[in-house]
């Protein structure tokens, strides 16, 4: 047994692994900036295309730069025929598994796959942002036995995503909702999936590999998977009057209420308010106020946890919006992934800019120097 002792940072809690220019998070104040701009301003005043430019290039675009990025996104909304076949072959899987597999397959058809220059990474990041939307929608339709819908080049990224899913051009409110959702999910420092993407990039693997890693990591219920779990929980509760009893039951059994708590935020996640307000308005407009009422009642039931720094996070209200938009629950995490691709790309760009292999240590606590016993002599 090793005798030296070390300070373990389990889960890498509170460890700074590098410097960044991507986003600033103050978990105590509940503040989030992308490249210096407050998330509240970006959610209210910007568009996903503009935020993608801001993240990838470091400043807000002028009109010409924005038009160019928009044209790039629009011109890369197609995927090779072979990738449609991959989607079809895997169509019974969870949409996150299909997305991960199809993005992985795209690497084989991308002539720039191994171009790790900053321009190459930006170009591929934008291409993957568009292609991921096409994959998610093609899969959504394939599993219903329906053919994919060709993109509408007159539509924004968010509106076109909804169009390729349903075949109907969304109204302005719906398109804006989706757009805000993508903005709110676009970047978030060294969260688990971005960190995983950075680890992959730190070996000097390529962007496709890093984004496949990010998608795989995002799927878990402690990360992006929470959005899917929140609406399952709301359905199970069924009535606002039952929320308190439900919370008591789950917490009494040492379970967790999904959509609450965060590794960094000990105040309310600043992204949550935009989704809460929009979810409330949408519920009222559609005559389905019960979902936000159930979620509000859960927030009340969790009030004693606020003193411990456990508040709602971004996933809590995101699910209710998708649900009201009639989007199936298993697409909630892929939608999160779609918003996050510019953020993953930026993390990879930063990693490449000043690369160092990310390789921590594990403190060994197993037996030492055991005698190797031949198989015939083992009990």
Ligand X SMILES: CC(C)(COP(=O)(O)OP(=O)(O)OC[C@H]1O[C@@H](n2cnc3c(N)ncnc32)[C@H](O)[C@@H]1OP(=O)(O)O)[C@@H](O)C(=O)NCCC(=O)NCCS
Return residues touching ligand X (CB under 6 A): 11, 222-223, 226, 251, 256-263, 310, 313-315
Q: Supply 361's token pair.
A: 């240590």
Strands (E), 68-199: none
Sign of CA pseudo-dihedral 6, 11, 17, 23: negative
For residues 190 and 55, what is the distance between their CA atoms, to the nearest angstrom? 15
Residue 245 vs 286, nearer CB to ligand X: 245
- Taking the complex as a whole, the smallest distance from the CB of residue 304 to ligand X amounts, in Å, to 11
Residue 36 vs 255, nearer CB to ligand X: 255
Residues 6+ apart with CB under 8 A from 15: 9
CB atoms within 10 A of CB 8: 9
Q: Whose CB is nearest to ligand X? A: 261
Residue 206 vs 315, nearer CB to ligand X: 315
Out of 139, 223, 274, 311, pick the active-site residue: 223
For residues 14 and 77, what is the distance between their CA atoms, to the nearest angstrom? 39
In 3D space, the residue among 246, 175, 204, 228 whose CA is nearest the CA of residue 354 turns out to be: 204
- Taking the complex as a whole, the smallest distance from the CB of residue 259 to ligand X amounts, in Å, to 5
- Taking the complex as a whole, the smallest distance from the CB of residue 305 to ligand X amounts, in Å, to 6
For residues 71 and 130, what is the distance between their CA atoms, to the nearest angstrom? 11
- Taking the complex as a whole, the smallest distance from the CB of residue 247 to ligand X amounts, in Å, to 9
- Taking the complex as a whole, the smallest distance from the CB of residue 168 to ligand X amounts, in Å, to 31
Residue 215 vs 258, nearer CB to ligand X: 258
For residues 372 and 178, what is the distance between their CA atoms, to the nearest angstrom? 60
Residue 224 vs 240, nearer CB to ligand X: 224
- Taking the complex as a whole, the smallest distance from the CB of residue 263 to ligand X amounts, in Å, to 4
Q: Is 152 a catalytic residue?
A: no
DSSP structure string for 234-293: HHHH-SGGGHHHHHHHHHHTT---TTB--SS-SS--TTHHHHHHHHHHHHHHTT-THHHH
Q: Is 115 a catalytic residue?
A: no
Out of 262, 269, 274, 311, pick the active-site residue: 262
Q: Is 41 a catalytic residue?
A: no
What are phi and psi for residue 57, nearest 5 degrees? -110, -10
Residue 22 vs 126, nearer CB to ligand X: 22
Q: Supply 188's token pair.
A: 């978030």
Residue numbers annotated as active site = 223, 262, 315
């Amino acid at each position: 047994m090793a005798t030296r002792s070390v300070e373990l940072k389990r889960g890498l809690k509170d460890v700074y692994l590098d410097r960044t220019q991507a986003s600033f998070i103050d978990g105590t104040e509940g503040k989030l900036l992308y490249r210096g701009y407050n998330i509240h301003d970006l959610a209210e005043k910007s568009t996903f295309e503009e935020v993608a430019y801001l993240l990838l290039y470091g400043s807000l675009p002028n009109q010409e730069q924005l038009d160019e990025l928009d044209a790039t996104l629009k011109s890369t909304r197609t995927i090779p025929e072979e990738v449609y076949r991959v989607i079809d072959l895997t169509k019974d899987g969870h949409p996150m598994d299909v997305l991960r597999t199809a993005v992985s397959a795209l690497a084989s058809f991308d002539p720039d796959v191994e171009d790790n220059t900053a321009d190459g990474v930006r170009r591929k990041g934008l291409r993957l942002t568009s292609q991921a939307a096409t994959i998610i929608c093609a899969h959504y339709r394939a599993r219903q036995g329906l053919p994919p819908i060709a993109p509408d080049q007159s539509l924004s990224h968010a509106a076109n995503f909804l169009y390729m899913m349903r075949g109907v051009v969304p109204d302005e409110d719906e398109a804006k909702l989706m757009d805000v959702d993508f903005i709110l999910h676009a970047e978030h420092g060294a969260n688990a999936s971005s960190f995983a993407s950075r680890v992959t990039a730190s070996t000097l693997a390529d962007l496709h590999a890093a984004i496949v890693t990010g998608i795989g990591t995002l799927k878990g219920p402690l990360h992006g998977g929470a959005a899917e779990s929140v609406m399952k929980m709301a359905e199970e509760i069924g009535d606002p009057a039952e929320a308190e009893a439900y919370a008591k039951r789950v917490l009494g059994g040492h379970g967790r209420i999904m959509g609450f708590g965060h590794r960094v935020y000990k105040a309310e996640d600043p992204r949550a308010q935009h989704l809460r307000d929009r979810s409330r308005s949408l519920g009222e407009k559609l005559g389905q106020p019960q979902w936000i009422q159930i979620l509000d009642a859960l927030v009340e039931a969790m009030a004693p946890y606020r003193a411990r720094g456990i508040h709602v996070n971004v996933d809590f209200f995101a699910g209710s919006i998708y649900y009201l938009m009639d989007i199936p629950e298993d697409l909630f995490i892929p939608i999160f992934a779609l918003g996050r691709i510019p953020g993953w790309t930026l993390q990879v760009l930063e990693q490449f800019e000043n690369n160092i292999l990310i390789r921590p240590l594990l403190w060994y606590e197993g037996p030492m120097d055991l005698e190797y016993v031949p198989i015939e002599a083992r009990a």
